[in-house]
Amino acid sequence: MSQKNNRSKQSLRPMLVAFGVIAVSVFGLMMIDRGNSTGNSSNGASIIADNSETGMPAVSTDASAAAEGKVQILTTSNFEHMVSDGVVLVDFWATWCPPCRIQGPIVEDLAKDMGNRAVISKLDVDDHGSIAALYQVRSIPTLIIFRNGEPVRRFVGVQEKETLAQAIQELL
- Show which residues are catalytic: 97, 100
Tell me how far CA of residue 148 lies from CA of 16, 116, 118, 158, 172, in angstroms: 57, 15, 11, 25, 11
Q: If you ran DSSP here, which 8-state letter would residue 45 be given? A: S
Alpha carbons 76 and 4: distance in angstroms, whole number: 61
Q: If you ran DSSP here, which 8-state letter would residue 154 be given? A: E
Contact assessment for residue 120 and residue 110, using Cβ atoms and an 8 Å cutoff: yes
